[in-house]
Copies of this chain bind each other. A is one copy, B any other.
Amino acid sequence: MTSTSNRVFIATSMDGYIADRDNKIDWLDTIPEINTIDTGYNAFVERIDAFLFGRGTYETVCGFDIDWPYTKPAYVLSSKLKSGELKFDEHVTYLSGKPTEVLKRIHHNGHHNLYIDGGRVIQDFLRMDLIDEMIITTIPVLLGGGVPLFGELDSKLLFHCIETKHFLNSISQNRFVRVR
């Protein structure tokens, strides 16, 4: 059987938010130099076969004035959006259904190691214990409210932090892997 993995690479505030109260992410640039250094994103993407985005994350990307920025196949999890509505739709495959069903279809396409992105999707996957690794970059700001990375769980999940990095004397990054 081919091994599979679902991985997260994301930034949060010190208090665990991925967006502020207005759903804005401009605070990610609190330490602007972070955009000029290698935080491991490219190396992370080399380890995955495809992206799986939630609807909100994909809509956010479509709202940016950029070309399609991803170098691997991308899926969008949405029961609401229809292909052709958004500007990057030629680059993505829409899927809907439960996480296990969606994964089965993606694996059937030969994509076994996935970058899972989007607050709602990550929470849904964690609730079903489907996340294997999380690389979390902590932007050293307390927002005091916003969209949390983590949600409620029925039972606790044990990880190990196997790597810690420190950037620009102000930002930390921790790599957590699920211990099963």
Q: Name the B residues within 8 Å of A156 (CB-CB).
A: 20, 27, 141-144
**A157-178 toward B: CB 8 Å interface, digit per residue (1/0)?**
1111111111001111010100
Expressed in whole angstroms, the Cα–Cα distance for A164 and B16 within the complex equals: 17
Chain B contacts of A140 at CB under 8 A?
158-161, 176
Nearest B residue (CB) for A173 = B164
* Alpha-carbon distance between A38 and B106 when the two chains are bound, in angstroms: 45
In the assembled complex, 25 residue pairs joining A and B whose CB atoms fall closer than 8 Å, in A order, are A14-B134, A14-B150, A15-B16, A15-B149, A15-B150, A16-B16, A16-B150, A20-B156, A27-B156, A140-B161, A140-B176, A141-B158, A142-B150, A142-B156, A143-B156, A144-B152, A144-B154, A145-B153, A160-B169, A161-B166, A162-B170, A163-B166, A164-B164, A164-B166, A172-B172
Q: Which residues of A contact B (CB under 8 A)?
A: 14-16, 20, 27, 30, 126, 134, 138, 140-145, 149-166, 169-172, 174, 176
